Structure 1
Amino acid sequence: MPRLFLALVLLLFGRLALGQAVPYSNNPTAGKYATVRGVKLYYETYGAGAPLLLLHGNGGSSKDFQKTIPYFAKRYRVLALDSRAHGKSVDRTDSLSFELMADDCAALLTQLHLDSAYVLGWSDGGITALVLAQRHPEKVKRLAATGANLWPDSTALTPKLWQQMKRGYREGRTQTFTDPTRRNDWKVFLLDWRHPHISLASLAQVKAPAFIIAGDQDIIRAEHTLAIYQNLPRAWLWIVPNSGHATLQEHAEEFNRKVDEFFRVKTIPAPVR
């Protein structure tokens, strides 16, 4: 083993032994790249057991799951993915969609020789989880989605957020982005401005049991979250008290426990309509 590489490995494990934070989304001992559908995707693997795919939100990375991974790595083989155009994943195309990212997830699982996985998605990751379950039902054992929406307007998002997005679009649409980083940031913004477009009726295609979650002070309207739950064939619902959009971070201990319970419980009741 080259001395420099050995020194880096020893340094990393020395930090972990001292209780310092794991560098999620930038961990050389857990991270790998997979070329999938022409895109170089970065992901990190932790733990052993049934596979669990973690999907972060808009502009984020797998680092967003730093309070999630340690809990689930005790029982699952956690795959923490940086979605295309996010984190360390490379994407040189000019636009994004949730269909693209859901197809990436399915292709990654296939490349890793995994028939299916549990899926936990936050915000945009929750949307991707729902689209993955629609387009590739055989790949999803069960899904948990927190802070997801089905379409981009003021009936799904809070008025404050929708006004912020409209201002952002007005300011950005006339600009020419020559810097690659800013151009990528604009592409990521447009993902949420233009997408998703999921009808309530189409949720009937989601055969996997689903756990639909949102904070009681979320940026997603409560009635929108309720409609998602009511239109899924097999679902649980949890509106987290005293929580904003970051339910998995603000209430990490309870969040992890309830999602794990959902993944392992034998019977999923039909939603009340």
Structure 2
Amino acid sequence: MLGQKTVPYGHNPAAGKFAAVRGVKLYYETYGAGAPLLLLHGNGGSSQDFAQTIPYFAKKYRVIALDSRAHGQSADAGDSLSFELLADDCAALLTHLRLDSAYVLGWSDGGITALLLAQRHPGKVKRLAATGANLWPDSTALMPELWQQMKRGYQEGRTQHFTDAKRRNDWKVFLLDWRHPHVPLPTLAGIKAPAFIIAGDRDVIRPEHTVAIYQNLPRAWLWIVPNSGHATLHEHADEFNRKVEEFFRAKFPAKASH
């Protein structure tokens, strides 16, 4: 609409705050009112990646868009990252906000974090949607092109001495995906929250890996998005938002694929 201001998601002083939890200051932005919905971005990203997601859900939910530690405005002086660490951060943030639980939507690394949050802190997750998530870092989970690219990145970076703080942080963020996660499929049986497992039909995650995640969850939906790569929530934003909301509101006995 002509004259309408673009909201600077990820850099919005009107919506942004810092929460001092677990030795870091986590940056997050809040929009809307209603049941809490936690948004978790991917590797190297930030809360601004949800610019096409927040306006839709803010009409009915209290949307909390987080910058994971070492991402966006959430600085982290530590020397390494793990998804367990990120999941525990999410649980601490919800406690800080005096929220007993939330709906969770995670993309890529955020999807992995969402699964681990539900596994490690089951009471904190009402339902979770995860798009483009993997459970371990190798060519059985990731498409060959991505795995080869990551191997080249590791070979180039492992002998370097990073003196610049940003480059040192970028390397730490890269190593998160190179070294992690390590979630055995059978352990997914312990996730009691309903889960919506999503991936593009041309995702960087192998389709059989996505299906295996779905098959090993006790209460799950599956959606392989046609004509989509890894950025399902961007490439098919309207349909993506509608289907995730449908999942959040659905009655749940059965498994379903879409």
CA RMSD of the aligned region, Å? 1.2
1:234 corresponds to = 219
SS at match of 1:70: helix
Measured after TM superposition, the shift of residue 271 of structure 1 is 6.4
Amino acid at match of 1:255: F
1:246 to 231, 239, 248: 231
SS at match of 2:174: helix
Is residue 236–residue 268 contact of structure 1 (8 Å, CA) maintained in 2?
no
The higher radius of gyration belongs to 1
Equivalent positions of 1:49-198 (< 5 A) are: 49-198=34-183
Measured after TM superposition, the shift of residue 241 of structure 1 is 0.1
Amino acid at match of 2:60: R
1:43 aligns with 2:28: yes
- Deviation track 1:197-252 (CA, whole Å, cap 9, x = no partner) reads 00000001110000000000000000000000000000000000000000000000
TM-score, normalised with respect to structure 1: 0.93
- Deviation track 1:243-264 (CA, whole Å, cap 9, x = no partner) reads 0000000000000000000000
2:6 corresponds to = 21
Amino acid at match of 2:186: A
Measured after TM superposition, the shift of residue 20 of structure 1 is 2.5
- Deviation track 1:37-88 (CA, whole Å, cap 9, x = no partner) reads 0011000000000000000000000000000000000000000000000000
- Deviation track 1:165-213 (CA, whole Å, cap 9, x = no partner) reads 0000000000000000000000000000000000000001110000000
Measured after TM superposition, the shift of residue 19 of structure 1 is 1.3
CA distance in 1, matches of 2:105, 2:6: 22
CA distance in 1, matches of 2:62, 2:171: 33
Structure 1 window deviating more from structure 2 (67-76 vs 260-269): it is 260-269
Is residue 62–residue 80 contact of structure 1 (8 Å, CA) maintained in 2?
yes
4+ aligned runs moved over 6 Å, structure 1: none
Amino acid at match of 1:63: Q
1:262 to 240, 247, 253: 247
Is residue 235–residue 268 contact of structure 1 (8 Å, CA) maintained in 2?
no
**Alignment length (residue pairs):** 257
Amino acid at match of 1:134: Q
Residues 17/26 of structure 1: CA separation in 2 closer, same or farther (3 Å cut): farther
Query: Unaligned stretches of 5+ in structure 1?
Result: 1-15
Residues 191/178 of structure 1: CA separation in 2 closer, same or farther (3 Å cut): same
CA distance in 1, matches of 2:98, 2:253: 28
TM-score, normalised with respect to structure 2: 0.98
Percent of aligned pairs sharing the same letter: 80
Is residue 230–residue 271 contact of structure 1 (8 Å, CA) maintained in 2?
no
1:31 aligns with 2:5: no
